[in-house]
Amino acid sequence: MVILKGEKRCEYFLAKQRPDGFIRHFVLTAVPFLGTEGELIGIVESFNDITDFEQAKAVIKTERDKLKRILGNLVEGVSIIGQDYVIEYQSEVSKRYFRDCLGQFCFKVMKQSDVPCEDCLMHRAIQTETIQMGEFVLSNEQNYEATYHPFTDLDGKKKVIVLFKDTTEIKAAMAAASRTKHLTILGELAAGIAHEINNPINGIINYAQILMDMSGESGQSWDVASRILKEGDRIAGIVNRLLSFARGNREGKLYVSIRNILLDSLTLTAIHLRRNYVIVKTDISADLPQIMAQPQELEQAF
């Protein structure tokens, strides 16, 4: 009917089911058949079997949808980068990492640079036809691990598929673990040194007490011995507090004096403060009420 109304050519897509249930797809093309005077004599119809083409389209669509689902469920971000440094594809995860950067240069997005990297892992992967790995940090302090997989695209050009993994939290956890290990080693070292100091200090205190007992309660010898005893006790107190701090005692909360804990903390840091020309003056009321707390934790906080 369309041809009869003056159309020069029309096409229709048809699907015909065979007796065995198989469906074949056709393109029906109709053109007018004109006489010598240009009058319409009839219609010429031709059928083109496109079953294989339609099946190939269905397979491609299925594989494309499958690939999208795979990429959508990957933890890593995926990008395709050409030899000209242009980003040609980004998965949704990659867009969350770096925003939508299609058509932009990879070195601009990942390295915040205006020129390509000197040792470009993308070019190295393509030239050596091997997988390359590297790490980089964005300006917002986000850490990423990148893996470059070389391949040849349908257009015959060499490109790389890049997998990006956000390692920011892993790096932070590793740094925290390293700091904890370092502090543990320092604590063990401090405890060892404190034990070594304790032995001669106890000897000094004992000798000072003997001198005091031999000198009576007056005279220069008694005065000197009492000063030695007082300073020895002070050193022993510092060592004990250092040991307690190093052990990180967590035996529970008890009623403690904030004043005493603060003074103990200042004793441990006094040398460091003096070395940095810091003068500390304290004015702490002696009748402050005791509180329920873990003393070592408060000492560490102070």
Q: Which residues of 210-222 are buried (b: 16+ CB within 10 A; e: fewer)?
A: ebbeebeeeeeeb
End-to-end CA distance of the chain: 94
Q: What is the pLDDT of residues 81-124, one digit of tens each?
A: 998 999 988 888 888 888 888 899 998 888 888 888 888 999 89
pTM value is 0.48
Q: How far is CA 147 from CA 67, 85, 160, 228, 282, in A?
A: 19, 15, 9, 67, 58
Burial 173-185 (b: 16+ CB within 10 A, else e): eeeeeeeeeeeee
Average pLDDT over residues 117-135: 90
Q: Tokens 């395709």 belong to which residue?
A: 80
Q: What percent of the chain has pLDDT over 90?
A: 9
Instruction: State pLDDT tens for residues 240-282.
Output: 777 776 665 556 788 888 888 888 788 777 778 888 888 888 8
11: number of Cβ within 10 Å: 11
Lowest mean pLDDT among 57-61, 207-211, 213-217: 57-61
% residues pLDDT > 70 (the chain) = 90
Write the DSSP symbol of residue 115: S
Report the C-alpha gap between 22 and 86 in whole angstroms: 46
| pLDDT at residue 39 tops 80 | no
Q: 63 CB contacts (<8 Å, ≥6 apart)?
A: none
**Is residue 128 scored above 70 in pLDDT?**
yes
Of 122-126, 187-191, 283-287, which gets the smallest average pLDDT?
187-191
